[in-house]
Amino acid sequence: MSRPRVVIAGLGDSGLLTAIKLSRHADVVGISVKPALVSGQELGLRVSRPRDWARDNWIPFENFRGLDRVRTVQATLTGVDFEHRVVHAQAPDGTAVTEPYDALVISTGVSNGFWRRPTVQTPEEIAAELRATHERLGAARSVIVVGGGAAAVSAAGNLATVWPDKRIDLYYPRDTALAEHHPKTWESVQRKLVERGVGLHPGHRAVLPDGFTGAEITDAPVQWSTGQPPAQADAVIWAIGKVTPNTGWLPPELLDEGGFVKVTPELRVCGHQRVFAIGDVAASDPMRASARARADGLLAHNVRAELEGGACKTYHPPKRRWGSVLGIQPDGLEVFAPNGSAFRFPAWSIDRVLMPWIVRRGIYKGVRENRPLR
């Protein structure tokens, strides 16, 4: 009896983990515009310490032992035929790609700023982009970060750590940042930002020109709709959470008003059998938290259940965001629970326990040596 064929459309964090879990039970094909996992996480480390960021967040697919059974295809998704169960895509050289499936997982994520874009890239282009951003910020005497989410807070905090002589200012629209986290999380992180000399500016909502997405670092004065005078710096990072779901290849009836994929509590795409969605692209809950809530295990179970006639499980989203905010720091890693309490991995444990055993072996099922950026 032949094994079922599962196509994973999008191999970011969620798609990759789902592919690893399904590869023992099905013939899995993963389609990605990148030749590697290029995570959209840890913006602060990406812009301030790109080599450290690349070691853990830019990993060629062939380095994942858990993907040894998975066939990966670098291509841009162009459409899907649900009646005949075929996904259509285009290879970098323009060749048409067709991949039939028994089950389909949509995990194409979102576009956000300059660090999350659905563009086809070679390893050389990825490396050049990382270096250019780092050098651009390194040459700036002052940096403004606009936004109140984890990406903005992380960028400001890490830039201030690496370049303590720069003027770093964080502008956010509410009285506090990290509004989707527990208030205790912001209280803790705020103290660290102040200690590092970051200027904090609550109550500033930026004026965005029509069509502006924040997809580049700018240097023009930032205007505020909340009445304050303009602010200016040598470099402005826009981490305003203005995300665009990567769903242009899907029929409109699958999408909600924001363009995200409508799903049931089982993460099944509404109105379709054997089609699922996970991660930032899935309208699973207001925070679209299935990526950060590690729903890949539940989804893999449900895909198998649908193929084999079993019972699906229900996804229960967290009420608040959780996890690390600043990422790995010189003194270790602090991870916040949904209730705002923090757990610290001391610095000595990062390279001895956390990354090799918990992340690379436990979560990813083995990662071969990775040195993508030299």
Q: What percent of the chain has pLDDT over 70?
A: 98
What is the predicted pLDDT for the residue at 374?
58
pLDDT digits (tens, 9 = 90+) for 234-253: 999 999 988 899 999 999 99
**Average pLDDT along the chain:** 94
pLDDT digits (tens, 9 = 90+) for 322-331: 899 999 999 9
Handedness of CA 140, 142, 147, 150 (dihedral sign): positive
What is the predicted pLDDT for the residue at 83?
95
Q: What percent of the chain has pLDDT over 90?
A: 89
d(C-alpha 59, C-alpha 20), whole Å: 14
What is the predicted pLDDT for the residue at 369?
82
Q: Evaluate if residue 373 carries a pLDDT over 70.
A: no
Task: For residues 345-360, give the mean pLDDT.
Answer: 94
Task: For residues 21-42, give the mean pLDDT.
Answer: 95
What is the predicted pLDDT for the residue at 292?
72
Q: Evaluate if residue 318 carries a pLDDT over 90.
A: no
Q: Evaluate if residue 213 carries a pLDDT over 80.
A: no
Which stretch of 126-140, 290-304, 335-349 has the lowest confidence by average pLDDT? 290-304
For residue 291, what pLDDT band results from cuts at 50, 70 and 90? confident
Concatenating the DSSP letter of every residue in 239-305 gives -----EES-TTS-GGGB-TTSPEEB-TTSBBTT-TTEEE-GGGEESSTT-TTTTTTTHHHHHHHHHH
**Strand 96-100 vs strand 86-90: parallel, antiparallel, or unpaired?**
antiparallel
Contact 6, 22 (CB under 8 A): yes
What is the predicted pLDDT for the residue at 223?
95
What is the predicted pLDDT for the residue at 209?
76
Contact 36, 367 (CB under 8 A): no
What is the predicted pLDDT for the residue at 210?
77
Domains of the chain: 5-120+243-320+352-358 (3.50.50.60), 123-241+321-345 (3.50.50.60)
Task: For residues 46-58, give the mean pLDDT.
Answer: 95
pTM: 0.94
Task: For residues 299-324, give the mean pLDDT.
Answer: 93
Q: 3-state DSSP call for residue 183?
A: helix
User: How many CB atoms are closer than 10 A to CB 362?
Assistant: 11
The neighbouring-strand residues paired with 9 are 31, 106
pLDDT digits (tens, 9 = 90+) for 149-168: 999 999 999 999 999 999 99
Which stretch of 57-71, 221-235, 287-301, 353-367 has the lowest confidence by average pLDDT? 287-301
